[in-house]
């Protein structure tokens, strides 16, 4: 059994924002495999279950706000008795250009408060799909306003057509125990 944990903020006002890349990714995998999410208060999350590459997978969208996602992560790991290496975190990455996807095992939070919370709750060695969100606007507005802003229409289109298929393939690799440390760059569709 494995956990794929997508970071984001609950609430309609956050749909389509840069900080909700993890949620959007799990929503798309749920649609692809026709599974629905169910609210589970004990986990402070909405979860769905599916079989992927012969492995039972728990998909989880935490219902805590982004800075406290570690609480949900810890509750799920404890209940399902999951080892940290059996968990994959999907999150936005402010330090990477939009269109970049990197796979990383553990590491520091690099200023990402969601990852800081995960690390504080025992997820330091988890696998991570880091999805770059930085663009030319980042230098003009503060980080908080930037990550809580909606993707531009061209970014949303690229996310759907180019980036999501890569994330799906990487999640399938994780389920099959073949995920390796990599970097992917999607340059198509630039301004």
Residues annotated as catalytic (active site), given as ranges? 19
CA distance 184 to 137: 22
DSSP classification of residue 161: I
Phi, psi of 71 (to 5 degrees): -60, -45
Buried b (16+ CB within 10 A) or exposed e, 48-82: bebebeeeebbbbbbbbbbebbbbbbbbbbeebeb
CA distance 166 to 183: 11
């Amino acid at each position: 059994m494995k956990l794929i944990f997508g970071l984001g903020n609950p609430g309609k006002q956050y749909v389509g924002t840069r900080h909700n890349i993890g949620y959007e990714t799990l929503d798309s995998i749920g649609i692809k495999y026709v599974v629905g999410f169910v609210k589970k208060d004990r986990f402070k999350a909405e979860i769905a279950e599916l079989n992927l590459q012969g492995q039972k997978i728990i998909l989880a969208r935490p219902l805590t706000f982004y800075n406290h996602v570690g609480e949900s992560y810890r509750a799920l790991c404890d209940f399902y008795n999951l080892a940290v290496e059996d968990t994959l975190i999907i999150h936005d990455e402010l330090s990477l250009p939009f269109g970049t996807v990197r796979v990383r095992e553990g590491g520091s939070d690099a200023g990402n408060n969601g990852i800081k919370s995960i690390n504080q709750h025992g997820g330091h060695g988890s696998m991570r799909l880091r999805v770059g969100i930085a663009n030319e606007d980042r230098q003009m507005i503060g980080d908080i306003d930037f990550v809580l802003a909606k993707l531009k229409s061209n970014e949303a289109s690229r996310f759907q057509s180019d980036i999501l298929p890569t994330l799906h393939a990487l999640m399938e690799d994780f389920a099959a125990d073949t995920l390796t440390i990599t970097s992917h760059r999607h340059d198509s569709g630039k301004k």
